[in-house]
Amino acid sequence: MNVIVVENYDEMSLRAAEIVEQQVLKNAKSILGLATGSTPLGLYGKMVEGFKNRGVSYEQIKTVNLDEYQGLNRNHPNSYHSFMYENLFKHINIQMRNTYLPDGQARSVEEECERYEALIERIGPVHLQILGMGTNGHIGFNEPGTPEGSLTHCVELDESTRKNNARFFESPEAVPTHAITMGITSILKSDRILLLASGKKKAPAVKKLMEQQVSEDFPASFLWNHDDVTLIADRDAYQLVE
């Protein structure tokens, strides 16, 4: 794992945007794997700046997102469809038909998971996968206990995850209990992975990751089984690593 420690959130976002932009300049038809949450918001802001001010084009790329809440309509303000549209897609020249997220309202969740995994196989491999990490080490919505062999599947969200995400909803009870997520194997299929971590809240998780003990108890640790992972962490997130 290649580790880059930077001063703060803004610098983390800038370094991440440079890597994304290099990828897109190298291959205009890049497949990007995207995440939601607070962590990549700054990165998406910098990508929008790059599009507007430096002529970076996203016209031919395709994107696949890690996950989506189950039961939320795609137009619900807290769906990950809406998150991606509001924070990135509507600001750049991506073609919406080239953006993919799991359908949280699919009639058969099992079929939707199979369909999504087959889609990743068909259009992939993802050239560059962006990841954030939960305080419990989850990546995507792969909570502790998820096996390495997992493909896209339905998960019941951890109480801690629902609590952490409650800030986006009217009340903690409004946070969906289930989600569809790419599995660990789906994520590890990507050519290259960029893991971002910012803030002191993530410091215990970053410390645990850097202990290099690969275990289901801490899903992000499976990233040690991939040979091209870059972690960009800011000082606050990296402060507990000796």
Q: Which residues 37-66 are close enough to bind ligand F6R by CB under 6 A?
A: 37-39, 66
When CB distances to ligand F6R are compared, the closest residue is: 132
- Using CB under 6 A as the binding rule, whether residue 102 contacts ligand F6R is answered as no
DSSP secondary structure letter of residue 158: P
72 touches 104 (CB < 8 A): yes
191 is catalytic: no
Give the nearest distance from C-beta 12 to ligand F6R in angstroms. Answer: 11
Segment contacting ligand F6R (CB under 6 A): 105-113, 114-122, 131-139, 150-158? Answer: 131-139
Q: Which is nearer to ligand F6R, 57 or 230 (CB)?
A: 230
- Mention every residue, 6+ apart, whose C-beta is less than 8 A from residue 215: 221
Taking CB under 6 A as the criterion, the residue among 132, 137, 176, 219 binding ligand F6R is 132
Segment contacting ligand F6R (CB under 6 A): 12-20, 21-29, 95-103, 126-134? Answer: 126-134
Instruction: Give the separation between CA 191 and CA 214, rounded to whole angstroms.
Output: 20
Cβ neighbours around 5 below 10 Å, total: 16
- Using CB under 6 A as the binding rule, whether residue 36 contacts ligand F6R is answered as yes
Residue from 68, 112, 143, 234 carrying the catalytic annotation: 143
- Mention every residue, 6+ apart, whose C-beta is less than 8 A from residue 152: 102, 113, 114, 116, 117, 120, 180, 181, 182, 183, 186
Segment contacting ligand F6R (CB under 6 A): 32-40, 103-111, 169-177, 232-240? Answer: 32-40
19 class by beta-carbon count within 10 Å (0-12 exposed, 13-18 middle, 19+ buried): middle
Q: Which residues 138-177 are close enough to bind ligand F6R by CB under 6 A?
A: 138-141
Element (H, E) at 229: strand 229-234
198 touches 235 (CB < 8 A): no
Give the nearest distance from C-beta 163 to ligand F6R in angstroms. Answer: 11
234 is catalytic: no
Q: Provide the token pair at 50.
A: 């790059």
Reduce the DSSP state of residue 131 to 3 states and report it.
strand
Q: Which residues 65-84 are close enough to bind ligand F6R by CB under 6 A?
A: 66-67
Taking CB under 6 A as the criterion, the residue among 134, 176, 183, 219 binding ligand F6R is 134
- Mention every residue, 6+ apart, whose C-beta is less than 8 A from residue 59: 28, 93, 94, 95
Give the nearest distance from C-beta 129 to ligand F6R in angstroms. Answer: 11
Contact footprint for ligand F6R (CB under 6 A) = 35-39, 66-67, 132-134, 138-141
Query: Which of the residues are catalytic?
Result: 67, 136, 138, 143
